[in-house]
Structures are given as C-alpha cells and as structure tokens.
Chain A
C-alpha cells in the first residue's frame, strides 16, 4: 500500500500548485479538514472560500468565480457533489461551460466508516453523461499529483475523483498523463483488464496471480474515463479478445459501461465488469475489507478474467 492517502497527496499538490498559478481559488463545503483542501486554505487564506454545508451553492459560486477569471477548484464529498449539486454542475458548469474543477473526495467506498450515505458508487456514471465534462480517476497518490496541474491548466469542466484512502501503489514516479489516453501497464495476450482508481493496483495483483497459472493478462490504467481512449480499447480487444473492467463504482454506467459502449458498437468481444453490483454497500473497519466484501477483490478480478477467457474459447 502507498504510505500516503490519495486525499493527502491531492491536498499537498493543490497547495503547492497554488503558488504556480495565482488564478487558482479553492472552495469547500465544510469538509476542508477531510478533503484536505485545508492545506491550500492555510497557505492562501484569501483564495479559499468555505461555503458551508451547501454543496449546490458551492458549485454556483465557483461558476461565478470562473466567469470572473478565476480557476475555482471545488472540494466536496463525491456523493454530495455529484448528486446534490448535479443540476448546478449540468447547467452552470457544463452547459454554461465555466472553467470549474470539481474534486469529488471520499469516492467509492473509501469512507468505509460512514457507509452508503457517504459512498459514491454512481458518481462516474452521472458525471460521464454530462456533455463537456472530462472525468479523471487516478490510480494512486502519484498519479493524482501528475494529473492535478494538467486539470487546472485545461480550459473547461473536469471531474477529478479522489479516494479518502491510500491505494496499492502503482507508480514509482509521476507518469506522463494525457486527456483521452489510457496507459498499458502490463503486456499480455490472453485477456485484458481495463481498470481505474483503486482497482488498478488490485488488477496488477490479479494479473500477477493469473501469470502463475500461465495466463498472460494485459492491465490498462484508464484514468481518463471521459473522453475514453477508444483506440486503445479497440487495439486491446483485437489483441486479446477478452476484456474485464475493474472499478470501485457501480457496474452500471461507469468505466465498465464506457468500455462496453465502445466494444458493443465495434468489436463485441466477451467482456465482464468487476464493480459493485446494483445494490447499496455497507460499513467496515477498513476500506480494503469493505472493497473485498463489495465484490472488488483481487479474486473477483481473477475469476472475471477466467470467465471471459472461457467465453472466448467457446
């Protein structure tokens, strides 16, 4: 596991980048000590706005700041940001195309203590459906640091999904990241796992275990879920003929949905989505145990790969 929680890496990078780009302003909805936007707040108190427990208003104020030439970064728990403030995001950020950056913290089931009210398992689906929106789901704390400057300097709405927890470490040093590009992390000819977020590390582990059984499995980090890298998906479908997606999100509408849409209209190879089934989650003592219990275990990925390979053979 990484020694640094994703949110902490994010908070530190945001505070650091505030020095580099003076147009950056940061908003939070009374969660700055949780999202860790408070690192920025301590460094730049005049550029930090705590709007209180009013997420829709926070997004609207950010839209106004963007129209005033600022680059606002909104920090709210992902579940509240993408559901309670969804109409604000659609109308005042996406349709009006204001230069607002949305950081959805505590995403997936990473807020293991609080349970389904605070879990975001539908945020990728609702953000992905919005025209103009870019959706980024980094795999670990190193990739977050790589994405953040890119996101801030991009002109337009971006949703950045951040885990409360530390994830399995994927990157040693900051990778080159690019909008609309997935990255092949591991070669293989038998099947491919396309993963995002905390599931990337688990997918690498699954591929390692599969290799012990003689199965050579690709692993792709698809941290940019929208726009999705169609070219890479088609290439991997042709190379392997069997695809598994893995995400800390509902199996409906997220990365799995995005990949399925591409495949169904082009090369419909056997595919399986590893994610949270269409049901609410629960609480646990730690995030890793909860992820396992939600069907996000390494074993679930391994079984899914075997399943698609069998269907390919048939």
Chain B
C-alpha cells in the first residue's frame, strides 16, 4: 500500500512541522487561542492543503474547488497557518490575528478570510453543513469533494449525528469527515467527560464507511484520504487517533492546553520541541 513516494511523505511532514510552529507562534503572540487541538490536527491539515484538496489559492471562490470545513473552529490558528502557507494571503498577516479590522478573526469567518469555506466556532455544525454542500455538488454534478474536520468532543453533540443521518440517507460519497480523536477536551479526557466509545461502531451503524488511522502517520493519512475517494455508495469518516498538543512536550495529552497560550518562557521550549531554535 506504500504507493506514495517517501519524498512526498517527508515534504508533508515538514509542512506539518511548519504549521505547528506557525500555530504556536500565533497563539503565543496573541496571548490567546487553542494550541492543543491545533497541534493534534496539523498532520491532517498538511495532507489536505498541500496534497489532497483540489484548490486554487489565487482563485479562492473557484466554483469547482474542493470544500473544507474546520468544524472544530477553535483550531483557527492551524487553519490560518495552512491558508497562509498555501498562498491565500501573506504569512505576514499571521501577526494580525485577533486584532481589530483584520481578516483573521478569532474563529474562522468565511466572509473575511480568503479560503475559508464556512464560518465556524460553535461546535457541531460541520457535518450537517458539509452534507448540504455535498448534496448541492451532487445535484449539479460538480464533482468537488467536501472535507470536514471535527473534534472528538464535538461528537458528543446530537447534531453531528443528525448530519450523519442526512449524509447517509442521500449517499453522499462526496463527503469525508475526519475525526481528530485526541481524547482530550476542555474539561478533561473525552472518555471521562462523556465517552464516545464504541465510536467506530457508532459511525458504522449510521451507515458510513469507517477508516481508522494514526492521525500523525502521514502515509496512513494520505492512504485514507485516497481510499475515501474510492467509496462511491456512502460517505466516509476517517477516525484519526491523535495526541492533543502533539509535538510540544509539555502540552501533550494535557487538557489544560486546550485553550491557553504559552508564555514567553514556554514558547521557547515549544519551539525547541518543534525543531525551531
């Protein structure tokens, strides 16, 4: 199955490392943001924006583009890092994040930031909105694919499953959902706050194709994204097992780093961990 060249894997891993550095620097500079869930999803975002998505950064509204919804909108630093590095706007804009009159809002705003396909921040909407997008694509035979990245804690909300039923009813194979399953949410471990298990069986019983991967293994991510495109009778969910705060030693698996910015001392350690001196 290892049909992707090693050079691509290494390249995307390097992109992911850069996205982690950008995210953590943005969060530190702003003194606010959500490091844990940005770091956990960085590998998936690198794979999507630098390999998988059929997009034109110079033409953000291109009608046939693949769509992406960051349903866990609080990981906005990561999305902005990906969009900036991909060329939707200058990376110099990163420094403006959260200030007045910037296009980079606290949470993603589709009307302000080029490349943001849907406004998010309140959890739960991505699957249902993505189903609507995929439905429209299907009706018009546009051929674009819709990707939705959801958090694991988000799956505690009923509307995720309402949306899952819609996608299954209309056999929306043009929709792929990725669950960033880092098992940590604001108040603690997901399995303590409100357990999701058996998560695979849940999605299967909603008539979705379920793939399970290590969400930090680039080869597994790419192969799962490829497999999802080969499924033509139902939507696909990729359950990506990840580590909250991945790559920053003192943040890994710590709920406290869900929504707290590192201070001036901590950022130095974080950047060292990420290989940026």
Contact = CB atoms under 8 A, between A and B. Distances in A.
Interface string B99-131: 000000000011100000111011001001111
Contact of A70 (B125, B129, B139, B163): B139
Contacts of B110: 96
A69 B163 contact: no
A257 to B, nearest CB: 27
B165 A97 contact: no
A65 B133 contact: yes
Most central of A61, A62, A95 by chain B CB within 10 Å: A61
Nearest to A52: B165
A52 B133 CA distance: 18
B162 A64 contact: no
A63 B129 contact: yes
Interface in B78-107: none
A46 B133 contact: no
B125 A60 contact: yes
Q: Is the interface of A mostly helix, strand, loop or mixed?
A: helix
The bracket for how many chain B residues form the interface is 20 to 34
B165 A64 contact: no
Contact of B122 (A57, A66, A87): A87
Nearest to A65: B132
A49 B134 CA distance: 13
B118 to A, nearest CB: 6
A221 interface: no
A56 interface: yes
A35 interface: no
B65 to A, nearest CB: 12
A69 B125 contact: no
A9 interface: no
Contact of B128 (A64, A66, A95): A64
Contact of A96 (B111, B137, B140, B165): B111
A64 B133 CA distance: 4
A65 B130 CA distance: 9
Given A64-B134, A67-B133, A57 B139 contact: no
Contact of B119 (A49, A52, A91): A91
Contacts of B117: 67
B166 interface: yes
Contacts of B137: 68
B48 interface: no
Nearest to B138: A68
Given A64-B128, A64-B129, A57 B163 contact: yes
B162 A65 contact: no
A130 to B, nearest CB: 14
A310 B136 CA distance: 58
Contacts of A66: 132
Contact of B166 (A25, A51, A92, A96): A51
B75 interface: no
A32 interface: no
A210 interface: no
A51 B164 CA distance: 11
Contacts of A62: 132
A54 interface: yes
Contacts of B131: 60-61, 64
A60 B163 contact: yes
B140 A69 contact: yes
B77 interface: no
Given A61-B129, A96-B119, A67 B162 contact: no
B129 A92 contact: yes
Contacts of B163: 57, 60-61
A132 to B, nearest CB: 10
Nearest to B135: A65
Nearest to B127: A60
Contacts of B128: 56-57, 60-61, 64
Contacts of B111: 96-97
Contacts of A69: 63, 136, 140
Nearest to A97: B111
A218 interface: no
11 contacts: A47-B139, A57-B159, A61-B166, A63-B125, A64-B129, A65-B136, A68-B139, A68-B142, A69-B63, A95-B119, A96-B111
Closest 3 CB pairs between A and B? Answer: A64-B132, A68-B136, A60-B128
Interface of A: 25, 46-47, 49, 51-52, 54, 56-57, 60-70, 72, 87-88, 91-92, 95-97
Given A54-B162, A92-B125, 20 more contacts: A46-B139, A49-B135, A54-B159, A56-B159, A57-B166, A61-B135, A61-B166, A63-B125, A65-B132, A67-B67, A67-B118, A67-B133, A68-B139, A68-B140, A69-B63, A69-B140, A91-B119, A91-B121, A91-B122, A96-B119
